[in-house]
Amino acid sequence: MKSRIETKQAPAAIGPYSQGIKAGGFLYVSGQLPIDVITGTFAGEDIATQTKQALINVQAILEAGGYSIKDVIKVTVFLKDMNDFVEMNEVYKMFFEEPFPARAAVEVSRLPKDALVEVEVVAYKDIILA
């Protein structure tokens, strides 16, 4: 069984997808852009600010599903420019701690709305069936 996770604390989906889907003990969070939900625009124009906002959006969806950033087991980071990797990583380290989730970081030719970064995650919690 799967269920949709949705929150107004993160940007609404800009296409036919859900912010998150919970299935069993897993929560799959769709790629999050660095959109500030209050202004509806990017939080900033630099990679550090955009990475922070994208991760804040991820965190909001995790929390809406009853998960936390500590439950994340896999992260995919999409970068417009791999030269931003070191700066993105500095912000990333402020959100995650040991043991760090598995991760892939890839450069892509273009992201929605011309963002510099997009982040998607998979989280897991053991569930107890009654």
Let me know if domain 2-124 sits in CATH 3.40.50.10470: no
Residue 128 has a pLDDT of 65
What is the sign, positive or negative, of the torsion defined by CA atoms of 21, 65, 49, 90?
negative
Query: What is the model's pLDDT at position 130?
Result: 52
* pLDDT score for 103: 98
Interior angle at CA 77, CA 76 and CA 81, nearest 5? 150
Query: Looking at 83-87, 93-97, 126-130, which range is the least confident one?
Result: 126-130
- Sequence ranges of the domains in the chain: 2-124
Burial of 111 (0-12, 13-18, 19+ CB in 10 A): middle
Q: Is the pLDDT of residue 29 over 60?
A: yes
Does residue 11 have a pLDDT over 60?
yes
- CA of 40: how far to CAs of 2, 35, 36, in Å? 29, 6, 5
At residue 129, the pLDDT reads: 58
